[in-house]
Amino acid sequence: MTKKLPIFTLGVEEEYQIIDPVTRDLRSHLSKIVDGAKVILNEQVKAEMHQSVVEVGTNICKNVKEARQEITFLRKKIVELADKQGLLVGGAGTHPFSRWQDQEITDDPRYHNIVNELQDAARSNLIFGMHCHVGIENREIGLQLMNQACYFLPHIFALSTNSPFWEGRQTGYKSFRTKVFDKFPRTGLPEYFDSLQSYDNFLDTLVQTNCIDNPKKIWWDLRLHPFYDTIEFRICDMSLTVDETMCIVAIIQAVVAKLYKLTMANTSFNIYRLALIKENKFRAARYGIRGNMIDFGLKKEVPTCELILELLEFIDDVVDELGSRDEINYVHNILRDGTGAAKQLAIFEQTGDLTKVVDFITSEFTKGL
């Protein structure tokens, strides 16, 4: 008899752009949206470092269907509150033309400290991501799963790419957001840790030597969360639509569930060199799903779309138990129609007008709500 999987709970965080409907530029909401949202949503909404960003987070969800309901509700509420202030909301990894130099920093000691330490690296960090927590009660197993899941980060990231523009320029990347974030310390792919003790010792060393004041300032693409019993995937660009977010969340959950299943059967997925995974991450940032990535087993380049289809086969035996078949099947729409980056670039090619790209981003945000 096949042993049932545990419940892999989910928590999803999204970072939204607050946009002026006239100029289409990012606009400070002066905490009005966040303050208004706190009345209804309590701790599910918070200000970010720049005043034109609003971050939302779901409660702990038992499955993908619950997470979808929560993200749909949160998007609706933020759109309603923004509308009362005469503002729009959008979802993308970067704004097509906003300049970070024109954006105000939120008046909060936490953000003042980060800016004081990191200076222009922090001030220029005008980017928007989607983070997904997957619940793992045993931290030792969580660390093993983190080590193994690292291989799949470029595949997942490629599907999320949605930031081709930066400060009015077409960057040549499908995700320029990651290039902006690279300026921060303690970012990028996590290194391999052979035990929970070595991981915790690493965190303790950074805190004791005043590199960081708390372990949350490890901003890796994937981390064993220092305070919650979760693995947190942080590599993704913010998605245009709920459908895209939930497809990626479902894939992340299924990858963790499949790796857990293998680990419990005393079979672990191959651990590959970080330097090799970095090559695939670069390719995902540069080309999205339309380029090639490296198949390390075959030691050759393979179209990224093929590797994503292989990933779907790899996770297939856990999907129905997780109840996420519909969400995962949406990946075929992304592979057919392109990621958010491809869609943004298509609008710009048709119109030559970045304000039309912003209009597209804000209209897609409410699609399916």
pLDDT, residue 2, reads 59
Mean pLDDT on 11-36: 91
Q: How far apart are CA 44 and CA 68, in angstroms?
A: 15
CATH architecture of 10-365: 2-Layer Sandwich (3.30)
Mean pLDDT on 358-362: 98
Q: How far apart are CA 324 and CA 105, in angstroms?
A: 39
pTM: 0.96
For residue 306, count other CB atoms closer than 10 A to its CB: 12
b (16+ CB within 10 A) / e for 27-61: bbbeeebbebbeeebeebbbbbbbbbbbbbbbeeb
Beta strand 219-220 pairing with 187-188:
parallel
Q: Which residues contact 223 (CB under 8 A, 6 or more apart)?
A: 146, 190, 231, 232, 234
CA 229 vs CA 8, 11, 136, 223, 315: distances in Å: 11, 11, 5, 11, 22
Q: Residue 360, exposed/middle/buried by CB under 10 A (0-12, 13-18, 19+)?
A: buried
φ/ψ of 130, rounded to 5, equals -125, 125
Average pLDDT of the chain is 93
pLDDT, tens only, 165-200: 999 999 999 999 999 988 888 889 999 999 999 999
Where does the pLDDT of residue 105 fall: very low under 50, low under 70, confident under 90, or very high at 90 and above? confident
pLDDT, residue 28, reads 87
> SS3 for 343?
helix
Token pair belonging to 34: 């966040």
pLDDT, residue 100, reads 84
pLDDT at 125 over 90: no
Q: How far apart are CA 279 and CA 292, in angstroms?
A: 11
Mean pLDDT on 257-277: 92
Where does the pLDDT of residue 323 fall: very low under 50, low under 70, confident under 90, or very high at 90 and above? very high
pLDDT at 256 over 80: yes
Token pair belonging to 236: 């993704």
Mean pLDDT on 311-328: 97
Where does the pLDDT of residue 102 fall: very low under 50, low under 70, confident under 90, or very high at 90 and above? confident
pLDDT at 45 over 60: yes
φ/ψ of 110, rounded to 5, equals -60, -45
pLDDT, residue 118, reads 80
pLDDT at 281 over 90: yes
CA–chain centroid gap for 183, Å, is 17
pLDDT, tens only, 131-177: 999 999 999 999 999 999 999 999 999 999 999 999 999 999 999 99
Secondary element (H or E) of residue 12:
strand 10-19
Where does the pLDDT of residue 1 fall: very low under 50, low under 70, confident under 90, or very high at 90 and above? very low
Tokens 């138990």, residue?
Answer: 321
Where does the pLDDT of residue 112 fall: very low under 50, low under 70, confident under 90, or very high at 90 and above? confident
Rg (C-alpha) for the chain, rounded Å, is 20
User: Are 37 and 351 contacting, i.e. CB atoms less than 8 angstroms apart?
Assistant: no
pLDDT, residue 34, reads 85
Q: How far apart are CA 129 and CA 253, in angstroms?
A: 17
Pick the more confident residue, 199 or 108.
199
Tell me the domain boundaries of the chain.
10-365
Range with the lowest mean pLDDT among 49-53, 127-131, 206-210? 49-53
pLDDT at 89 over 90: yes
pLDDT, tens only, 212-241: 988 888 989 999 998 899 999 999 999 999
Mean pLDDT on 82-89: 94
